[in-house]
Amino acid sequence: MDKPVLPLTYEQIDHWIASLQPELAREGFTHAVGILRGGAWPATLVSHATGAVPAFLRYERATRTAVWDSSVPLPARGSKVLVCEDIAGAGHTLADCVSFLREQGLVVKTLTVVFDDLSRMRPDYGMDCRGYFALLPWERHAYTDRYRARWQHTQAGTLGPIGEDHEFAVYAIDLDGVLLPDVPPHRYDADLMAALEERDALLPFEHLPQIDFSRTQAIVTGRPEIDRARTADWLARHGYAHLRLVMRDPSRHGEHPEQVAAYKAEAALELACTHFIESDPVQAIFIAQHAPLLRVVWWDAARRAAKLIATQAWRGADAPTP
């Protein structure tokens, strides 16, 4: 992938459609028609913004066939509808669906969340993402190596359907606090060598996060690179030698929680992961802030509980404007 990745969140897409509300309302669309599945959510947002009736089309790529797939009937001839899709792609989906509706005597305009350099058709409404790889929140798995390989084979006709979204989950995990207990920071300050030896002797937790470890891409730890040999030895002794070990470079990322979190977010994105399991709640918040489409899970080993983390920056009324 030679384009910079542009992650778009649900909130950003919601705000974008809200910004179009006056213009969409003036158009007088009777229906917002989503192409299943990617166009379903944008059509629902348009429906809420304008009052247009939500309706859906189903498209079969193999036969290039569009069918009406709604409990509401087809609009009357002459009605004006807005076809909604997630991306104006390189294929024929959007054009074929527009042609189908026009054949029914409808006046059609189009809205796609994004369009890019490869788009076969330019929508009437869409965010211009030319020069970027737009990563939509419901397609966060599309950045994984396995998905891209499957997609290429599917496009070439050498495989059947790509598969379900959850099948492409890829994990990166923290080390201390996830696989083994944390040694309290004050022990490192009191006697570094004694603390390291204590850590080396620790046994793995009996209870681990309930994830598919066969889909774990790497251990991404805040431990500095100088600890690689003893860390790799511990992993080998306890059955984790097969996992890739990513360690922090202190010359690039310091020890402050936000700096460590920035490094972990960067590593997870470079590894094309969809999920990150983090033991420190503060770091989990910062990781989620740095990588908004990464599924960040805070693992509380003491309670054997996991919480999905999402974060947006907040400014109080008296905060200075940047």
CB-CB neighbours of 117 under 10 Å:
10
* pLDDT, mean of residues 249-253: 95
For the chain, percent of residues with pLDDT exceeding 90: 70
Looking at this protein, which amino acid is placed at residue 102?
A: R
pLDDT value at 53 more than 70: yes
pLDDT value at 60 more than 80: yes
What stretch of H or E contains 173? strand 171-173
* pLDDT, mean of residues 120-144: 86
Long-range contacts of 68-76 (CB under 8 A, 24+ apart): 69/36, 72/31, 74/104, 75/30, 75/31, 75/104, 75/106
Q: How confident is the model at residue 244 (pLDDT cuts 50, 70, 90)?
A: very high
Task: Domains for the chain: give ranges and CATH numbers.
Answer: 5-135 (3.40.50.2020), 169-309 (3.40.50.1000)
Give the model's pLDDT for residue 1.
Answer: 54
| Contact yes or no for 279/176 (Cβ under 8 A) | yes
Count of alpha carbons within 13 angstroms of residue 258, beta-carbon side: 2
136-150, 163-177, 236-250, 290-304, range with the lowest pLDDT: 136-150
What stretch of H or E contains 244? strand 244-248
Distance CA 275, CA 170 (A): 6
Cβ contacts of residue 189 below 8 Å, gap of 6+? none
Higher-scoring residue by pLDDT: 229, 153:
229
pTM: 0.69
- Residue-wise burial string across 142-172, b where 16 or more C-beta atoms lie within 10 A, e elsewhere: bbbeebeebeeeeeeeeeeebeeeeebbbbb
Distance CA 250, CA 176 (A): 18
Cβ contacts of residue 148 below 8 Å, gap of 6+? 1, 142
Give the model's pLDDT for residue 167.
Answer: 72
Cβ contacts of residue 259 below 8 Å, gap of 6+? 253
Burial class (CB in 10 A: 0-12, 13-18, 19+), 48: middle
Cβ contacts of residue 169 below 8 Å, gap of 6+? 141, 212, 215, 274, 275
**pLDDT tens readout for residues 72-111:** 999 999 999 999 999 998 889 999 999 999 999 999 999 9
Distance CA 2, CA 196 (A): 41
Q: How confident is the model at residue 145 (pLDDT cuts 50, 70, 90)?
A: low
pLDDT value at 301 more than 80: yes
Give the model's pLDDT for residue 322.
Answer: 45
pLDDT value at 166 more than 80: no
9-13, 282-286, 296-300, range with the lowest pLDDT: 9-13
Q: How far apart are the first and last CA of the chain?
A: 33
42-51, 72-81, 220-229, 303-312, range with the lowest pLDDT: 303-312
pLDDT value at 314 more than 90: no
pLDDT value at 18 more than 70: yes
Place of tokens 């598919």: 212
Q: How confident is the model at residue 154 (pLDDT cuts 50, 70, 90)?
A: low
Q: What is the mean pLDDT of the chain?
A: 89
| Contact yes or no for 57/33 (Cβ under 8 A) | yes
Nearest-CA neighbor of 46 among 77, 94, 73, 85? Answer: 85
Token duo for residue 231: 């860390």
Question: Coil, strand or helix: which one is 229?
Answer: helix
Distance CA 153, CA 135 (A): 20
Place of tokens 């080998």: 236
Higher-scoring residue by pLDDT: 9, 253:
253
Cβ contacts of residue 47 below 8 Å, gap of 6+? 32, 53, 54
